[in-house]
Amino acid sequence: MKEKLYSIKARASFKGKHLSGAERIVRESEIETVLEEIYKKVRRKNPDSINIKVENIEEKPLIVDKTLRLKNFSFSNHIEANEKAVEILHIETGISKNILWKLIEEVHTGAAPDKENMRGAMIVNQKGERIELDRYRGIRTTTVDFLDRKKVLKKLLKNGYTERTLDALALTTKNLIYPDMIAEYCISDEPDYTVGYVSTKNFYYRFSPLKEKGNTKGGRIYFVKNSIDIQKFYNFLQKKPVLIRDVNI
């Protein structure tokens, strides 16, 4: 009988404000080791609260052969990078460039109603309308990992990438296999990490830099079809377990 799978999710916060998170899908024999790894990761920002949850995965995971294919873009500044990002998103979504610029500006200046970072991603349809159910919380993609995380990480490191790329690839690959999701835009909320990405059905475009250094704002935009069933979308991204075999370099 195959070993049971467990979902491990961790969130670190300071005075109620989200600082960082981590998650894994692991076999029962790996739980103790991975818990230690995740704890070390989320405590780096000196939180006053860390919440770690371990749950048995009852549903059979969806197995995906490969991640989206990686492609790198380098620019002299984040404005030029975002011009290219807008060009790609305009072609993929059909949303006007003016609206795309406004949406991206929201991510760079704080997309929540109080101008702080959202906890999750905003959702935007092809009309350019924000349709997430909660503009503070947004939507978070969870319950996704690699079948052999160490093997995939080794391959990425060998090709000049980092563990950040590993985690981002897992999340965005799960996002883009959903039939009604068209594209994604993402920048980190960490002020010293300026690399970001745009994902489509076929590619993970890694942009350097996609945000201005020192900016503490960040987040994601999930671009979806007008016909999307929003409840089914939330259910898939937040609950459906997905395991990925390999990275597509």
Q: Is the pLDDT of residue 1 over 80?
A: no
CA distance 193 to 52: 25
pTM score over 0.85: yes
pLDDT digits (tens, 9 = 90+) for 6-16: 999 999 988 88
CA distance 94 to 238: 27
Q: What's the pLDDT at 45?
A: 81
CA distance 236 to 97: 29
Token pair, residue 37, equals 């790894």
173 dihedral zone (left: phi>0; alpha: psi -120 to 50; beta): alpha
Token pair, residue 242, equals 């997905």
pLDDT digits (tens, 9 = 90+) for 132-141: 999 999 999 9
In which band, very low, low, confident or very high, does the pLDDT at 218 lie, cut at 50, 70 and 90? very high
Contacts (Cβ under 8 Å, ≥6 apart) of 223: 89, 92, 93, 95, 124, 125, 126, 181, 182, 183, 184, 185
